[in-house]
Amino acid sequence: MKGLELSEEYFWQVGYPVLCKRLGDIADCAAYGLAGEGSECFGFDDDLSRDHDWGPAFCIWLSDEDFEQYGREFQKVYQGLPGEFAGYPCRNTTEQGSGRVGVMRSSDFYRKFTGCPQAPDSLGKWRVIPEKFLAMATNGKVFQDKKGGFSAVREKLLNYFPEDLRIKKIAGKAALMAQSGQYNYMRCIKRGEQVAARFALSEFMDKTINMVYLLNKRYMPFYKWAHRGMKGFAVLPQMYVLLGKMVQETSSEVIFDMVEHISGLVIEELRRQKLTDVNSVFLEDHCMSILSRIQDKSLMRLHVMAD
């Protein structure tokens, strides 16, 4: 059983009935679910994931006011719940994984990942949040939220970046894909700089994956889950397989052909999303056309390393 499924069954069969019995109507002040850090929150957990910070557990999110008034009561009931469930042992919590489940303020949960107790309310606040943190703030599942406060913030985050910022990021990734893959990779190979070539290819793959997430309007998670998270994407679904084949290829010429093919697919999608009208196979040539779609002209300048 996947960790998210296990936690939801544990909540409905054990946690929520006990909370209602002990706390009465107060139990419905909270939002319940599982989200945040941990492979199980993305649905990526497997047998290897169970050695730490995995097992039957869930989050209880309370507003600041309700936390002050009822937090200790919720915590007392939660700590008294049986740890074992459906044949699975108690959650093995490490020092690094403490605080991922249990009772917490909704504002603290969001502040941990976004720096804001609510959804960001300005472009400046959106710009400084790493995508992997936004992915953690919006993954998993809300099992129940009768008051709706926690879910309202979640929905605003799931609505994705402001469009101007998404376009700015797309332009930055296009420039770096061109620089690392279409330009530097073969130059490093021709110079005999194999380590530099590997770096260039790694950079190209990283920025390609990030580009695909941006084109799908999905937040890119931590690097070890980024490729797996592309499975089933509606936009550029073939990229998952193409990148898997690329890492198995040994011929630099074939790899470069794949770089060009991937770049061409991205350009086609940029055109489909009406983000470029330039006729070029080199991604960098499209950057200014992409940027011209931005409404807020203060974002027009392309800072490649920052974006």
Question: What's the total number of domains in the chain?
Answer: 2
Cα–Cα distance for residue pair 100/211, rounded to 1 Å: 29
- For residues 94-99, give the mean pLDDT: 81
pLDDT range class, residue 300, cuts 50, 70, 90: low
Do 134 and 12 lie in one domain? The reply is yes
The neighbour count for residue 272, using CB atoms within 10 Å, is: 11
> What residues are paired with 34 via a beta bridge?
141
**Would you say residue 256 has pLDDT above 70?**
yes
Whether 45 is covered by a domain: the verdict is: yes
Query: Rounded to a whole number, what is the distance in angstroms from the first to the last CA of the chain?
Result: 39
- For residues 196-215, give the mean pLDDT: 98
- For residues 64-82, give the mean pLDDT: 97
pLDDT digits (tens, 9 = 90+) for 15-49: 999 999 999 999 999 999 999 999 999 999 888 88
- For residues 141-158, give the mean pLDDT: 98
Do 26 and 136 lie in one domain? The reply is yes
Three-state SS letters, 198-243: HHHHHHHHHHHHHHHHHHHCCCCCCHHHHCHHHCCCCCCCCHHHHH
pLDDT at 51: 78
pLDDT at 305: 42
Whether 307 is covered by a domain: the verdict is: no
pLDDT at 90: 83
Whether 305 is covered by a domain: the verdict is: no
Do 148 and 229 lie in one domain? The reply is no
**Would you say residue 297 has pLDDT above 80?**
no
Do 8 and 154 lie in one domain? The reply is yes
**Would you say residue 150 has pLDDT above 60?**
yes
pLDDT at 287: 97
Least reliable range by pLDDT among 77-81, 83-87, 116-120: 83-87
Whether 306 is covered by a domain: the verdict is: no
Do 154 and 257 lie in one domain? The reply is no
Do 191 and 238 lie in one domain? The reply is yes
Cut 0.85: pTM above it = yes
**Would you say residue 306 has pLDDT above 90?**
no
Domain assignment of residue 215, given as a range: 163-299
Q: Which of 91, 124, 158 is the last residue of a domain?
A: 158
**Would you say residue 281 has pLDDT above 60?**
yes
pLDDT at 98: 83
pLDDT range class, residue 302, cuts 50, 70, 90: low
Contact by Cβ (8 Å): 164, 124: no
What tokens were used for 154? 């979640």
**Would you say residue 245 has pLDDT above 50?**
yes
- For residues 82-88, give the mean pLDDT: 90
**Would you say residue 154 has pLDDT above 50?**
yes
Do 118 and 181 lie in one domain? The reply is no
Pairing of β 31-34 and β 141-145: antiparallel
Whether 304 is covered by a domain: the verdict is: no
- For residues 222-235, give the mean pLDDT: 96
pLDDT at 202: 98
Do 61 and 30 lie in one domain? The reply is yes
pLDDT range class, residue 219, cuts 50, 70, 90: very high
**Would you say residue 117 has pLDDT above 60?**
yes
pLDDT range class, residue 53, cuts 50, 70, 90: confident
pLDDT range class, residue 151, cuts 50, 70, 90: very high
Whether 276 is covered by a domain: the verdict is: yes
Whether 266 is covered by a domain: the verdict is: yes
pLDDT at 97: 73
Do 83 and 189 lie in one domain? The reply is no
Contact by Cβ (8 Å): 44, 228: yes
Do 214 and 135 lie in one domain? The reply is no
Do 64 and 189 lie in one domain? The reply is no
Mean pLDDT (the chain, rounded): 94
